[in-house]
Structure 1
Amino acid sequence: MEVLVPFSSDRPKSRLSGTLSSSERESLARAMLADVVEAIAATGESPRVLATEPVGVAIDTDAEVPVTVDERALTTAVNDAIADPTSTPNDPGDPRRSVAVVMADLALATPGALRQLFDADGDVVIAPGRGGGTNALVIRHPSFRVDYHGASYLDHLRIAADVGATVREIDSHRLATDIDESDDLAELLVHGDGRAATLLREAGFELDRSRGRVGVRRE
């Protein structure tokens, strides 16, 4: 299965600007991308980065990670990649083409969590994010297309119903947690052990439990 990983280098992680400098946000975004791609590769599936500009992805495997540069909006770029007429079905006995889309900021994703997503039955398999977003998809229905504007989880349920696609939802903390806000960094320090979590720790971040909830502070 081909797994698309959209990545935008334009003002990465701007909502973390109150916590991280511009260079730190860029480094974190690239570290999370590498963590996600490496977790996908560990499942035996084939990651392909869909980036807004050329980007190198170094992971701890011998496999080369292909990068397709597409400067267009996320929805347009992903839909064109899904509909790629040069692609062939994953299984010669099944005319359906399977393709997955996994966001580049799912730094808590593990091969096990991703395998649960990839192996689930359904024309469309959805891993919703917090706040109504869609963090990961598996698409097996030829007429299904994505729409990442606004509450995309609800939009994707509607689109699936419109084309007659069956839907399976994956309830996974690791796939539901995208690193967008300062509070999300605490999740990364608690549950992460990859490049992104290491980067935060090396930058002096630690857990802060002094206000009755878990947050982060800089040493």
Structure 2
Amino acid sequence: MQVVVPFAAESPKTRLESVLSFSEREALARAMLGDVLEAILETGHEPTVVSTARLSPESESDPVTGHADIGTLVDRGVTIEVDDRPLTDAVNTRLTAANGPVAVVMADLALATPDALTKLFATTADVAIAPGLGGGTNALLASHPEFRVDYHGASYLDHCRIAGEIDASLETVDSFRLATDVDEPTDLVELLVHGSERQRALSTLLAFGFDLETTAGRTDLRRVK
């Protein structure tokens, strides 16, 4: 099975501009990518990163968090390809060329675990989708040779429709960890609550000085330094 991880290298996480600088967003995006790749490797699969720009792998540990960077994961079987086309086009090219099942896992699933991904990878349906909150598609597995993606708008509904049009069996994978992608400042709360300090993303966020603040029964994000 081929596992594809799209990664937007040039303009990382623009919706986090209100709380993170460009360099911080870049570091967090790379940390989340590392966590996703690590989780995939632990399932026994070797993922391919499809990056919009050259992604220089570093073999040294991050001086802030101490975690090994992408270079170590490349040494363990991760492949990096550059493809600057829109997400839909880049993924469909790989679906068209594939000789078997293809999984597509987004790079910002900071809470993804090997167990959650194994549940997706183990499906016997022609198309399995792990939807994100708000109607997106955070991860999918396509075994039907005619299935193609369309990531515009409410892509989960579009992918369900496309599966129906080609008479493909469909399974929705219900997973909190795969449903949680980090796009908005409120998503960082989920990372602080449910992340593990063994993960690059949480360690990076803590190194930036973020913490949880509970007021009037609501948990929010605060920066303490």
Quickly name the TM-score band, shorter chain normalised: over 0.9
Q: Distance in 2 between matches of 1:11 and 1:117?
A: 29
Which residue pairs with 1:80 in the alignment? 93
Paired amino acid for 1:35:
D
Q: Distance in 1 between matches of 2:38 and 2:157?
A: 29
Ranges in structure 2 where 5+ consecutive residues have no aligned partner: 58-69
- Answering whether residue 63 of structure 2 is matched by residue 63 of structure 1, we say no
Q: Secondary structure at the match of 1:46?
A: coil
Ranges in structure 1 where 5+ consecutive residues have no aligned partner: 89-96
Q: Distance in 2 between matches of 1:58 and 1:134?
A: 28
Residue range with higher mean Cα deviation, 145-154 or 55-64 = 55-64
Fraction of identical pairs, as percent: 56
Runs of 4+ in structure 1 deviating by more than 2 angstroms, as ranges, are 56-62
Counting matched residue pairs gives: 209
C-alpha contact (below 8 Å) 2:149/2:159 kept by paired residues: yes
Paired amino acid for 1:167:
L
Which residue pairs with 1:94 in the alignment? none
Which residue pairs with 2:104 in the alignment? 101
Q: Distance in 1 between matches of 2:152 and 2:46?
A: 26
Residue range with higher mean Cα deviation, 63-72 or 137-146 = 63-72
TM-score when scaled to structure 2?
0.90
C-alpha contact (below 8 Å) 2:47/2:77 kept by paired residues: no
Instruction: Give the 5 Å matches for 1:156-171.
Output: 156-171=159-174
C-alpha contact (below 8 Å) 1:34/1:59 kept by paired residues: no
Shift of 1:81: 1.0
Shift of 1:72: 0.4
Shift of 1:211: 4.1
- Answering whether residue 194 of structure 2 is matched by residue 191 of structure 1, we say yes
Q: Structure 1, residues 71-128: CA drift from partner, whole Å, max 9, x if none? A: 00000000001111xx44xxxxxxxx11100000001000000000000120000000
Q: Distance in 2 between matches of 1:138 and 1:66?
A: 19
